Chain A
Amino acid sequence: MNLDQAQRDRYREFSDFVNDNVTPYAGDWDLHQQMPRDVIRAIGREGYFGAIVPEALGGKAWDFVTFGLLNEAFGRGSSSLTVLFTVQNMVATCLLKWASAKQVAKWIPPMAKGDIVASFALTEPNVGSDIQSIGTQFESHGDMLVLNGTKRWITFAGIADIYLVFGKLNGRPIACVVEKDMPGVEVTPIRDMLGFKACHLAQLDFHDVQIPAANVIGKAGFALSHIAPLGLHYGRLSTAFSSVGLIRAAMETSIKRASTRVVSHATLNNISSIRAVITEMGISYDTSLMMCLNAATAEDNRSLQAIEKTILAKYVASRNAVSAASQAVVISGAHGCHEESSPTARFYRDAKIMEIIEGTTQVLQNVLGNYYVNRAEPLVLN
């Protein structure tokens, strides 16, 4: 894969930012289960939240390959932080495509600067993968809507300013921007998850929340066919690249440990079985990254197969992240099992989450099955 000079330069810039502002602190954020506003503000100043936002709206208008590299570079430092790019862009892409010019002008510029944090509120206590079954209810009262329901496992909802909430209005799927200060919005943080511990996961309860009809995105009837799937698609692209960053972190940590840890008068990296494990990590990294770049390039070309290619990339990269992180713990031994001694335990915990968000491995496998079985042709050259 050939990156152009601008893409390479930006990737170096992202990596430098992560080395200085993310990697040294990611373990602490995880331990304390919080993401400091300062780092969010610092990212906002660099303009990274507006990576794919048009320049006229205060964004960088970068291509999707560059957006992917941003997620890879941050994914190497902190999955909890990178998932902020994921959800912020899930909401931004839905608004950019389906919101009115007025709505876009209101929300996108502050989101691009990081002044507003947005959450994507789809999952409910009783409904995850099967999104068509969501039960959150909107009722129409004149030019207001009244919202009741519960959203659970919502990334960054603990500190978000707005939420893109999916529900039904007279049985028709609808998406609406809900603001955190609206009366009747209750935010309950969810702590002690397996991974992504610093991503301010929360439950949102809506009790008769009154929302201006002007906050409806698109039209009733289209939220689960045209809006949510679009956000989930870009979320998968972000998560796929973030998984690749995690594989790199696991690999680098393992290589470093293997070159310094002495067993029986020689360093670990002289043992052929350890070399084989590290080789597997390298192969995982390169194959996952190739698939991600193939998906991002498809997105840049507006290929009709961009969605399936992204699903393929997310499926492969998230599974590879799980195995690479698992091997990284093994190579580091007891040291790798101790949170204060090594980041590998965090990588291991975070990696498993990659397989669940934006479509679990099984759900994505079903979609890929539809593609391969119906088309009877491979994906990459399409």
Chain B
Amino acid sequence: METLADFDVKTSVRKFITKSIGIGDIRDDEDLFDSGIVNSLFSIQLVTFIEKSFGLEITQDDLDMDNFKSVDAVCNFVRRKQGK
């Protein structure tokens, strides 16, 4: 079941991503990198966003596309890191 905290994570991740790419209607499981809709600065801005918004530090061990490729991927990554 989606908890309130989960809902907050998803809302803020969606908001950041849609604002960055300038497209509102993306699916939560849509691969942002495969579809080529992100620009060259998006990746490092996403890192700053995750670190700053959720108080996490992303290191080389986290460099895995499965952590960043979609709204769902980022949310799962944040929850996993927060759970540690």
| Chain B associates with chain A | yes
User: Can you list 15 pairs linking A and B with CB atoms under 8 Å apart?
Assistant: A99-B60, A100-B60, A218-B60, A219-B60, A219-B64, A226-B47, A229-B40, A229-B41, A233-B44, A307-B41, A367-B41, A373-B22, A374-B21, A374-B22, A375-B19
Give residues 65-120 of A contacting B (CB, 8 Å).
98-100
Q: Which of B39, B43, B45, B63 contacts A304 (CB 8 A)?
A: B45
Given A100-B60, A304-B52: A226 in contact with B39 (beta carbons within 8 A): no
Instruction: Give 17 A-B pairs besides A219-B64, A308-B41 with Cβ atoms closer than 8 angstroms.
Output: A98-B60, A100-B60, A217-B60, A219-B63, A221-B63, A222-B63, A225-B40, A225-B43, A229-B40, A230-B44, A233-B44, A302-B52, A304-B45, A304-B49, A307-B41, A307-B44, A374-B21
**Complexed CA–CA distance, A306 and B51 (Å):** 14
B52 x A370 contact (CB < 8 A): no
Given A229-B44, A307-B44: A98 in contact with B63 (beta carbons within 8 A): yes
**Complexed CA–CA distance, A229 and B41 (Å):** 7
Given A99-B60, A219-B60, A219-B63: A370 in contact with B39 (beta carbons within 8 A): yes
Contact residues of A: prevailing secondary structure: helix
- Nearest CB of B to A276, in Å: 38
Number of interface residues of B (CB under 8 A): 20
Contact with B along A209-245 (1 / 0, CB 8 A): 0000000011101100110011001000000000000
CB-nearest residue of chain B to A98? B60
Write out the residue numbers on chain A whose beta carbons fall within 8 Å of the beta carbon of B48.
302, 304, 306
**Complexed CA–CA distance, A169 and B45 (Å):** 25
Number of residue pairs A-B, CB distance < 8 angstroms: 51
Residues on A lying within 8 angstroms of B by beta carbon are: 98-100, 217-219, 221-222, 225-226, 229-230, 233, 302, 304, 306-308, 367, 370, 373-375
B56 within 8 A of A: no
**Complexed CA–CA distance, A379 and B49 (Å):** 17
Write out the residue numbers on chain A whose beta carbons fall within 8 Å of the beta carbon of B39.
367, 370
**Complexed CA–CA distance, A367 and B39 (Å):** 9
- Nearest CB of A to B43, in Å: 4
B26 within 8 A of A: no
Write out the residue numbers on chain B whose beta carbons fall within 8 Å of the beta carbon of A307.
41, 44-45
B43 x A229 contact (CB < 8 A): yes
CB-nearest residue of chain A to B33? A225
Write out the residue numbers on chain B whose beta carbons fall within 8 Å of the beta carbon of A373.
22
Give residues 8-28 of B contacting A (CB, 8 Å).
16, 19, 21-22
- Nearest CB of A to B54, in Å: 13
